Structure 1
């Protein structure tokens, strides 16, 4: 099952700890209540049923990890490996908690192509907390990549006039980043 904790940068609905740079009264939104998140995590850990959660904003991640830690203490010996999708912005202190909770980081390299949008939404100061693939890998966190298709499947025109799925270009860029 995949659950949506928050929204996206594009619609300014990813839940942030500080307002959007280009919409200073907006912090985004939380799609599931804290109680719903708790119940989802508890069912997963209690019954060894893997889940995936969509989290883009840093406040959504903090809230999720806060709740996950509480439930994890009740079921510390569970065998399930839960996955967090996107992780487009995360504070440094939450990366260590992510690792301690044995979560899988699932990134979508295609969103590197939206760097102008990300910069517009977050500003220069917060950009260092985005797309932290290398940090996760260096810290030994299980890290996977996927396409997020159909959302990230745009075509770009090459110099020769033919078209290339942007995902291919982005994967090459990501391999350079992590190597």
Structure 2
């Protein structure tokens, strides 16, 4: 049902151009009328450090009571920090915890495991910048409206995420995106229109 919002293409039926008046309908309007006219810039953001920095002063027992554990990165790819939006280097200390990344009052409310580096500083990305952390991964991008209802979802390699972001933001109903690692399912970053 939601896949239709992602087509973005006005071609169907063997490549023949469809008129907007005969196109698919959504709530009484042609789907094409929901497409914004110009491509928008985007801003990718990580999580705020202030939510996690107190955890590093806790003992392992105190972390365990919160469902979190202290870990050390043992490979250069596989410990992605959600604050700095950088992969931890081998030997770096992190905390692995469960985090509610979509605290909305809808069926899509969601939480999952994330890593935070002990030495993390908040990511400061330029508009339209994609962090290197996302590039080598297969990503799941989920589009939500302002109420937190999922409107669309798709997967793309990190090397092509800009195309999927542009496609999803071309629809007026989409307010923000969440990026997840497609294989492990964990939350990676938020994307907003800039």
Q: Do Structure 1 and Structure 2 share a fold, with TM-score over 0.5? A: no
The structure that is strand-richer by fraction is 2
- Superposition TM-score, scaled by structure 2 size: 0.23
Question: Greater relative contact order: 1 or 2 (C-alpha under 8 angstroms, separation 6 or more)?
Answer: 2
TM-score (norm 1): 0.24
